[in-house]
Amino acid sequence: MKQKDDDTIGLSVDDKDFIRTMDEDVHLTAEGNWEAPLPFRENRQRLPNNRSYALKRAHNLDNSLRKDQTKREHFMTFMKKIFDCNHAEIAPQLMKEEECWYLPIFGVYHPKKPSQIRAVFDSSAKYQSISLNDVLLSGPDLNNNLLGVLLRFRKEPIAVTADIESMFHCFLVDKKHRNFLRFFWYKDNDINNELIEYHMRVHVFGNSPSPAVAVYCLRKAACAKEDDYGCDVVDFVRRNFYVDDGLISLSTPDEAVSLLKRTQAALREGGNLRLHKVASNDKHVMDAFPFEDRSKDFKDIDLSVDKLPMQRSLGLNWELESDSFTYRLSKEERPFSKRGLLSTINGIFYPIGFVAPVEVSGKILMRETLRGSYNWDDPLPVHLLGKWSNWKNSLRFLEDVHIPRTYTPFSLSKTLCKELHIFSDASEAAIASVAYLRTVDDSNNIHVGFISGKCKLAPTSGHSVPRLELCAAVMSVQLYDIISEELDMKFNTVRFYTDSMVVLGYINNKGKRFFKYVENRVERIRKSTTPKQWSYVPTKSNPADAGTRNLTAEVINDNIWIRGPPQLKEPLEEDPNTVFLNQKMTLRFVRKKRLKP
C-alpha cells in the first residue's frame, strides 16, 4: 500500500521522507508479521553509547520497585506479558564500535484503571545533549480526525466498537535497528536476579514515530486483503479508526456482523492482528461473536436477560441499553488552586461539544484566577470560592444528561431531506457556534439532531461585540467545513444564522470597504458560503446564545443548545433567506445602520 500522491500534498519534507521510508522498507515476514524500520533522519548525528546513563536509571527504578510492592507486582505483570509475547529478547553482544542506544524505562498508570501500569520506554531521555527521538522522523499524523470518527459513529442505528489488541506491539522492528532499542531488566523477569541487557523486537511506546508506524502498518494489513474481504473493510480501517479503536454505525445488524467478521479475518490473515473487544447496542450483533472477542463488560452477562452495559471509547460514555451518551465524572476532590481548577475543567471535555457551554463557564471563572499572580498550587482568594464551588457542585447534574447517539430515531438512508443549520453568537465573555441536522422522512416527520458545538473564550481586550460576532460567524463556517468533510453526507440545504444584523451587513456588503480585520473574516466566510445562505435569528431563538453565557450543568439537558430551536421542528418556508424572520427586511434595517468595524 503505497501512499497516494494526493495524500502527500501539504506534507513537510520530513513527513514525505517518512512516507518514502515506509513505502520502501515495510515488508511482511515469513511468519506473517509486518516489519518496519526506525525512520532515521538523513545526515543525522551518530548516537553516543549511553549505557552508563541507562544503567543508572535502571538502578533508580529498581530502588523504587523494591520500596513499593504494589507497583512492583504491576510492573512485573506487564513485563511478563512483554516476554511471553516475544516482544523482547536478550540482546546479543555488541560488535566493536557498533552504534546502539539504551532506553530507560518508567511506569505510567492509566487514570481510569488504577491497577494497570504501562512500561514506557523513554526515547526522549537525553545523553550528551541528544536523544533517540532527536534522530528519528516523527512522521505525519496519520490518525483520522477524532471529531470526524465520532460524527460518523452517530449516523446509523446499529453501532459497533472494537479494538486492536496491543497495536503498537503488533509491528516488528527491522532487525538492523533493534540495537537502538536496548534496555536493562531483571534476568527471567525476577527481581532477585541481576539486571541484564534486552532489546525490543517491536515498536515501543515512547518512540515519536511509533504512532505513525502503527497506523501505516494497520492500513497496509487491511489493504493487503482488500481483494479477499472487500473495499468496505479497507474503508472501515482507513476512515473509522482512531489509533487502535474502531467505531462505526450501520443500517442493519447483518451489515454490522458481516463487516466486523470480515475485518477480523482480513487483519488476522493480513498481519497477525487481532480485532477484539467488540461492543454493540444490538444484542443480535453481540450474539454473533464468541466471549473472547467481546468487550470485557459483556463476558459476565446473559444477553437474553441482562441489560447491555456502558462502554467508554475515545472519551465517550456510551449507554448501550438506551443508545445514548452520558457523563461520568471523577469523584476525586481537587484543591482550590489554578491546577485543581484546570484539572476539573479538562475532566468534562467532550470533543462533540454536547456540554461546551458548561465547560466554557468554567473557563470564564478560570480566567478570573489568571488575572491574579497566583502560583499553580497556591490557594485562590476566598472571593472566588463561592462562584467556583457553585459551578463545580452543579457538575453532578451532567450525569443526568443523556444525548441520543443517533441524529435521528431512524436510519438516515430513509430520509427524504437532510438540512444543515448552523448558529453563531458572541458576548464579551465567549463566542459560540452550534450545528444541527434537520431531517424529513417519507411520512413528513421532522427530526432535529445535535451535530456538534464549540465555545471558546473571547479575547480580553481590543474587540467590540460586532467584531466578536463576526469571529463567531467564522467559527460557524469552520464548523461547516469540518462537518461537510467528515460526515460523508450530502445536504439538501445548508443555512447559517446570526443574531447580529451588523454581521449580516458585512457579509452582504458589495461596495463598502472595511478595516483589514473585518475584510479578512468576511473573505473567509465567503470562501465557504454565499450571502444567500445567511439569515437573521432573534437572540431568544438562537441556541448559540447559550454558549456565550454562564450556563450551569443543571439546565443544559433542557436547553435549546442540545434540543435545537423549536422553529426547526416546524415546516420551513422554501425561501432559504427566510426562516425566523424575513432577511430582506433585516437587510433594509441594516443598511440604515452605520456599519462600524
pLDDT tens digit string along 194-209?
A: 999 999 999 998 899 9
**In the predicted model, is pLDDT for residue 65 greater than 80?**
yes
pTM of the model: 0.88
As a whole number of angstroms, the distance between CA 156 and CA 249 comes to: 5
What's the mean per-residue pLDDT of the chain?
88
Beta strands in 156-216 (DSSP E): 158-164, 172-173, 182-186, 195-200
State percent of the chain over pLDDT 70: 93
Per-residue model confidence (pLDDT) at position 47: 96
* pLDDT tens for each residue of 471-481: 999 999 999 99
How far apart (Å, rounded) are the C-alpha atoms in residues 130 and 577?
61
Question: What pLDDT score does 330 carry?
Answer: 76
**What letter does residue 202 receive in the DSSP assignment?**
B
CA distances 524 to 460, 528, 540, Å, are 23, 7, 27
Q: 26: closest CA among 38, 12, 8, 14?
A: 38
pLDDT at position 157 over 70: yes
Amino acid (one-letter) located at 540? K
- What are the distances in angstroms from CA 212 to CA 14, 179, 242? 13, 21, 12
CA atoms within 13 A on the CB side of 323: 19
Using a 10 angstrom Cβ sphere, with 0-12 exposed, 13-18 middle and 19 or more buried, the burial of residue 292 is exposed
Burial 247-285 (b: 16+ CB within 10 A, else e): bbbbeebebbbbbbbbbbebbeebbbbbbbbbbbbbeeb
User: What is the pLDDT confidence band of residue 181, given thresholds at 50, 70 and 90?
Assistant: very high
- Does residue 585 have a pLDDT over 70? no
Is residue 546's pLDDT more than 70?
yes
CA neighbor of 116 nearest in space, from 108, 128, 124: 108
Cell numbers that stand for 255 in this block: 451489515
588 contact partners, CB below 8 Å, separation of at least 6: none
* In the predicted structure, residue 110 carries a pLDDT above the cut 80: no
Max CA separation in the chain (angstroms): 86
Query: What SS3 state is found at 318?
Result: strand
- Partners of 450 in the β-ladder: 436
Q: Encode pLDDT of 300-356 as tens digits.
A: 777 777 788 888 877 788 999 999 998 887 777 888 888 888 888 888 777 899 999
- Side-by-side strand order, sheet with 27-28: 27-28, 34-36, 172-173
What are the start-end ranges of the H helices in 283-337?
A: 283-287
CA-to-CA separations, 202 to 167, 253, 323, 451, in angstroms, rounded:
10, 36, 38, 40
Lowest mean pLDDT, pick from 139-148, 357-366, 478-487:
357-366
238, 202 contact by CB (below 8 A): no
Cell digits of residue 75: 510492573
Reported residue count of the chain is 597
